[in-house]
Amino acid sequence: MFSQDQPPQQITSLHLLNTALLRLTPSITGIDMSMLQTKGANRAMLDAVIAANATTLYNGIKRADILDAIKTPLAAAVNTHPITYAYDAHGDKHFPGGPAGTKFTQGKAVVNPALQVLIGAQLGRIRRDANGKAQTYYYPLAAQGYTNGMPLCIQVDYAPGPPETITYHGYPDAGVVVLVLSRAKGGAAIAN
């Protein structure tokens, strides 16, 4: 977003937006996350959306116009905003050379980036379901090229941060029968 100053100044955060809104005529007293009603969104996402928005503020602009300019891109950011991934070493036993257990046919350099891509496709659902709280998920999938013919199960631990983090590990699991992202292994699917 941009201020009404000449030349316009880029607004890159909620704090700077609220400061600029107070300088308008008539002034607009603050915008906050609750006004946007976007499940799974956080302040870092909102700041990124504000920084990327091309709207220029002007005297007489309405709060509703500003909220409308932010809501749709913020909802999209819930699905796409970058997150920090951390591998849980508990999964070491599932790789060749590790302790006894079901094994992947490939090493961490192949499997872990593939797991991050699979988790990334569900990131929006995870964020909306967790809605700012720490939560564990299980994401079972059909057999992959590195699961030795068995279904894959990924354990995902979401932490809202900061920094917002997904800690994960996966393993081949012949006992998988339900292929849905759930809060419990074999449980009901979380909402979209």
Q: Quick one: pLDDT band at residue 111, thresholds 50, 70, 90?
A: very high
State the pLDDT at residue 37. 94
- C-alpha 1: how far from chain center: 23
Angle between helix 63-80 and helix 123-130 axes, rounded to 10 deg: 120
Residue-wise pLDDT tens digits, 120-172: 999 999 999 999 999 999 999 999 999 999 999 999 999 999 999 999 999 99
Residue 99 has pLDDT above 80, yes or no: no
Token pair of 163 as six digits: 């920094």
Q: Model's pTM, two decimal places?
A: 0.89
Residue-wise pLDDT tens digits, 66-82: 999 999 999 999 999 99
Strand 135-141 versus strand 152-159 pairing type: antiparallel
Distance CA 95, CA 111 (A): 9
